[in-house]
Copies of this chain bind each other. A is one copy, B any other.
Amino acid sequence: MTKIGIIGGTGPEGLGLAMRFAKASDKVTIGSRSAERAEEAARKVSETVPDAKVRGLMNAEAVEDAEVVFLTVPWDAHQGTLENLAEAIGDKILVDVVVPMLFDRGQPKAILVDEGSAAQQARALVPNAKVVSAFHHLDGTELQNVERPMQGDVMVCGDHKGAKKTVMELVEHVEYVRALDAGSLTNSRYLEEWTVLLLHLNRIHKAHTGVRITGI
């Protein structure tokens, strides 16, 4: 049982992760800038996972009680959210799931980040946090479909060995999903950018795609 706080947990990815972790008996706090929306999201989790240990709070409060903090805000909110919550996050494990991207004439497009990747920006903004980059390639809609086994792998990268191990264990709280060590935090850029390709595949093939590594 891990105490998980999800900053921006009302979006499809955060909500889906909340449901899967609740199903694995983790204690989940959904954070939002609006306590009302957070509570509404927590209700959705409870409806989907009847014995869920879940509640909805303001982002800072969701961070407070968590052992592991997830960040699932849109890219636009990445920097601002981390600046606001840096003190609350402190030296906790911070799992950055954010993908730097925009829509250019309706097409998803990766954005270059000065620090190299969203996760590296997070480390610059919250220098004491144990930043781990992971969970980019699990489709939000599929995650919310809790009765269906998830397919695919989750690549996990980061520079803090213990934190990476904890997050790899959390990955496998999502049934059937495999965690793969993907090296140092500088590799996050590749994980983040690949998500944009998956969004293109989703559109072209009208699908909810994920990724599986062959040969391991």
Chain A residues within CB distance 8 Å of chain B: 109-110, 112, 139, 142, 151-152, 155, 180-183, 186-187, 189-191, 193-194, 196-198, 200-201, 203-205, 207-216
A sample of 14 cross-chain residue pairs with beta-carbon separation below 8 angstroms, ordered by A number, consists of A109-B186, A110-B190, A152-B214, A152-B215, A155-B197, A180-B201, A181-B204, A183-B200, A190-B200, A194-B197, A201-B216, A205-B216, A207-B215, A209-B215
Q: Which residues of B contact A190 (CB under 8 A)?
A: 110, 193-194, 196-197, 200
Other-chain contact of A209, B109, B110, B205, B214 (Cβ < 8 Å): B214
Q: Which residues of B contact A216 (CB under 8 A)?
A: 201, 205, 207, 209
> Would you call A210 and B214 a contact (CB within 8 A)?
yes
Once bound together, how far apart are the Cα atoms of A143 and B186, in whole Å? 29
Other-chain contact of A212, B207, B208, B214 (Cβ < 8 Å): B214
